[in-house]
């Protein structure tokens, strides 16, 4: 099985021909088209946007707006002004928790997250709940690593103010049924629904306008775009009525001596000089992924993860976490006998196989799994069957090194 995207599109894979990059859930590699778009922006169009009367600044402004429209189209958002550029998912969720949370969460309210959240969608809610004297609650998981929807149903009620959950778990790969969860929440509460799409948008077609969530957050660097850019998508009514997150230049309408009024969307939430170059890069990433087709991206990852799950399943002593491949994105989280995942990752690195080991910024989940850490291989568009074979070979070598060979 070959890769979906030509490996030759990715300069870093050409620079390291022996590399088996299986850590795209942490960050993806970047195609030449994205690197070229960023370079062309700085070579031809760079100026501070919005404020300039001269042509170059107008061009930079247009590039920034065009990038927003392109990324909005990628995510199925008709009203592009409801897509706020942020530094990434972490900043996007902090924006909601802080700006919306301070204005709307009150003593006695309940804030619900799940046991499979990345710290970026856990800690901001935990902290704002404590700050506002609200109750922080964690919806538990089923034994196969899904959100327990019966428990969620039972937790919801008139006190529920926020429900935050991920589209796809970074540590298990579980694909959560976003629309079904949103329907359950809406049936039983008026809660704000926040979806962490950091592992969703890069891997699965996303149509925000039909997801029925209030906010969706993602990071550009996990979807072939540059680091330092991502987005928060929200509903116009909610964004317009909530206070700004940061204050300063660009986000104001009038600054009076003792009062300030806010700019319109999206500027109200984008204080300071925007990251135009990376927005242009993210738009190029959207072009690149749409060129492959997001349905094809999902199908490719599913085929790889099925193949890898079968192959790894035959390795003695392996334990794979999470649901079956059909309900998982391109992530395989596992432990191998009593070999520490960090040792495993170091040994695999000796064979040029890059995997991640650790708690994956999901310590609450690790506690629920009863482990301190797992090893995680994650696949993307440039991976192929040879990557799986290399992973398998390296795992057998690791077993041998630890004296498990032939056991």
Ligand X SMILES: Cc1ncc(COP(=O)(O)O)c(C=O)c1O
Handedness of CA 138, 141, 146, 150 (dihedral sign): negative
Give residues 216-255 in contact with ligand X (rule: CB under 6 A). 219
Tell me, yes or no, if 361 is annotated catalytic: yes
Smallest CA-to-CA distance from 378 within 344, 349, 345, 355 is with: 355
Among 3, 29, 170, 275, binds ligand X (CB under 6 A): 170
**Contact characters 301-340, ligand X, x per CB under 6 A:** ----------------------------------------
Q: Which two tokens stand for residue 258?
A: 């003792």
Give residues 88-117 in contact with ligand X (rule: CB under 6 A). 88-90
- Tell me the site size for ligand X, rule CB under 6 A: 12
For residues 383 and 22, the answer to whether their CB atoms sit within 8 Å is: yes
Residue 380: which residues within 8 A CB-CB, separation 6 or more?
24, 28, 29, 202, 203, 301, 330
For residues 302 and 325, the answer to whether their CB atoms sit within 8 Å is: yes
Q: 323: left (phi > 0), else alpha (psi -120 to 50), else beta?
A: beta
For residues 212 and 193, the answer to whether their CB atoms sit within 8 Å is: yes
The answer to whether residue 275 forms part of the interface with ligand X (CB under 6 A) is no
Among 23, 196, 278, 384, binds ligand X (CB under 6 A): 196
Smallest CA-to-CA distance from 158 within 128, 188, 126, 125 is with: 188
Residue in 82, 195, 224, 361 annotated catalytic: 361
Three-state DSSP class for residue 333: strand
Residue 156 is given by DSSP the state -
Helical (H) or strand (E) element with 57: helix 55-74
**Contact characters 336-375, ligand X, x per CB under 6 A:** ----------------------------------------
CB of 289 to ligand X, least distance (A): 17
The answer to whether residue 121 forms part of the interface with ligand X (CB under 6 A) is yes
* Residue with Cβ nearer ligand X (61 or 383): 383
User: Which among 192-200, 203-211, 299-307, 312-320 is the span making contact with ligand X, rule CB under 6 A?
Assistant: 192-200
For residues 165 and 195, the answer to whether their CB atoms sit within 8 Å is: yes
Measured from the Cβ of residue 325, the count of other Cβ atoms closer than 10 Å reads: 21
User: Which among 75-83, 195-203, 337-345, 387-395 is the span making contact with ligand X, rule CB under 6 A?
Assistant: 195-203
* Residue with Cβ nearer ligand X (220 or 274): 220
* Residue owning tokens 């500027």: 267
Three-state DSSP class for residue 295: helix
CB of 400 to ligand X, least distance (A): 32
CB of 156 to ligand X, least distance (A): 22
Give residues 6-65 in contact with ligand X (rule: CB under 6 A). none
Among 120, 194, 375, 391, binds ligand X (CB under 6 A): 120
How many angstroms separate the CA atoms of 324 and 330, rounded? 11
CB of 389 to ligand X, least distance (A): 26
The answer to whether residue 198 forms part of the interface with ligand X (CB under 6 A) is yes
Among 7, 30, 50, 118, binds ligand X (CB under 6 A): 118
- Residues catalogued as catalytic: 361
Contact positions toward ligand X, by CB under 6 A?
88-90, 118, 120-121, 166, 170, 196, 198-199, 219
């Amino acid at each position: 099985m070959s890769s979906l995207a030509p490996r030759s599109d990715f300069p870093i894979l050409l620079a390291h021909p022996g590399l088996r990059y299986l850590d795209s859930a942490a960050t993806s590699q970047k195609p030449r088209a994205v690197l070229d778009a960023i370079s062309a922006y700085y070579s031809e169009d760079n100026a501070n946007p919005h404020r300039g009367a001269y042509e170059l600044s107008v061009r930079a402004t247009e590039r920034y707006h065009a990038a927003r429209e392109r990324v909005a189209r990628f995510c199925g958002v008709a009203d592009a002004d409801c897509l706020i550029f942020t530094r990434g998912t972490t900043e996007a969720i902090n924006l909601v928790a802080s700006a919306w949370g301070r204005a709307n969460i009150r003593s006695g309210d309940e804030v619900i997250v799940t046991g499979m959240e990345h710290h970026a969608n856990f800690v901001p809610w935990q902290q704002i709940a404590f700050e506002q004297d609200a109750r922080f609650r964690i919806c538990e998981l089923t034994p196969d690593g899904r959100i327990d929807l019966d428990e969620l149903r039972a937790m919801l009620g008139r006190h529920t103010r926020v429900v935050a959950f991920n589209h796809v778990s970074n540590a298990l790969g579980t694909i959560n049924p976003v629309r079904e969860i949103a329907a359950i929440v809406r049936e039983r509460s008026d809660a704000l629904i926040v979806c962490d799409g950091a592992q969703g948008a890069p891997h699965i077609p996303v149509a925000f306008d039909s997801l029925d969530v209030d906010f969706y957050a993602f990071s550009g660097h996990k979807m072939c775009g540059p680091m330092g850019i991502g987005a928060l998508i929200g509903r116009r009514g909610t964004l317009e009525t909530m206070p700004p997150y940061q204050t300063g230049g660009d986000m104001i309408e009038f600054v009076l001596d003792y009062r300030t009024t806010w700019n319109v969307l999206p500027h109200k939430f984008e204080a300071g000089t925007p990251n135009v170059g990376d927005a242009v890069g993210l738009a190029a990433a959207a072009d690149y992924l749409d060129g492959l087709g997001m349905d094809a991206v999902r199908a490719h990852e599913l085929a790889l993860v099925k193949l890898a799950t079968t192959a790894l399943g035959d390795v003695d002593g392996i334990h794979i976490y999470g649901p079956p491949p059909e309900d998982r994105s391109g992530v395989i989280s596992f432990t191998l006998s009593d070999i520490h995942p960090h040792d495993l990752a170091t040994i695999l690195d000796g064979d040029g196989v890059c995997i991640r080991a650790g708690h994956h910024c999901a310590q609450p989940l690790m506690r629920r799994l009863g482990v301190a850490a797992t090893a995680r291989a994650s696949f993307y568009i440039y991976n192929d069957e040879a990557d799986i074979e290399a992973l398998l070979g390296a795992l057998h070598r690791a077993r041998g090194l630890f004296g498990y060979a032939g056991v």
